[in-house]
Amino acid sequence: MLMLIAGLILFLGLHSIGIVAPHWRKRMLLHAGEGAWKGTLGVLNLLGFILIVVGFVHSRHSPVLLYLPPTWLRHVTFLLMLPVFPLLLAAYLPGAIRARSKHPMLLAVKLWATAHLLANGMLADVLLFGSFLLWAIIDRISLKRREPEAIRNTAPSRYYDVLAVVLGLALYAVFLYKLHALLFGVSPLA
């Protein structure tokens, strides 16, 4: 469990620099250079992610049940997960989805975390998904107070929205029927 917690602190802590220290982040970008700064953060984020995954897998060896969700919540989970992959893709594609949702990545994280909290009641699940949900809520609130960053992108187009939805739903289907079990050892359909 300690490895999971350490990974969450490292990963979400690094993702919170813009929330708690935006001016320091800007200074570091200028001082170190964008490539070095992003490269260092990328390596540390990867380490945090690995700690999260390994810690989560190890937590399954000694599970602690906090609550047992009712079976019908699985259906709610499937519904909440439907827009997650399209929103993730829309975060990188200029279109109406990105413009209307303002921060589709954070919305996707909130939906993903909430859906998984509804379906899973083990301590490790609550730590993992609850931490991500709390972080996404705090990040979204903090964005209202921060200066918007300049985004380099192409002109918005409905084509990108269609692409995000079609590819996102296809990715969701692949995840649901194959990848989730392959990557995490649990089939959501079982």
User: pLDDT tens, position by position, for the chain (190 residues)?
Assistant: 999 999 999 999 999 998 999 889 888 888 888 899 899 999 999 999 999 999 999 998 999 999 999 999 999 999 999 999 999 999 999 999 998 988 999 999 999 999 999 999 999 999 999 999 999 999 999 988 877 665 566 677 899 999 999 999 999 999 999 999 888 888 898 8
| pTM for this model (two decimals) | 0.90
Same domain, 57 and 74: no
Check whether residue 108 and residue 18 sit in a common domain.
no
Count of domains for the chain: 2
| Among 13, 46, 62, residue at a domain's last position | 62
Same domain, 69 and 138: yes
- Domain residues for the domain of 186 are 65-190
94 and 5 assigned to the same domain: no
Answer yes or no: do 3 and 91 share one domain: no
Domain end among 27, 45, 62 = 62
Average pLDDT, the chain: 92
Single residue among 20, 45, 62 that ends a domain in this structure: 62
Do 2 and 58 touch, CB atoms closer than 8 A?
A: no
**According to the model, what pLDDT value does residue 145 have?**
82
Task: Verify that 44 and 76 share a domain, yes or no.
Answer: no
What pLDDT is attached to residue 152?
60
Give the bridge partners for 65, in sequence order: 122
Same domain, 131 and 43: no
- Confirm if 103 and 148 have CB atoms less than 8 A apart: no
The reported pLDDT for the residue numbered 73 is 93
Tell me the CA distances in angstroms from 29 to 4, 5, 36, 39, 166, one per residue in order: 29, 28, 8, 11, 36
CA 39/CA 44 separation, integer angstroms: 9
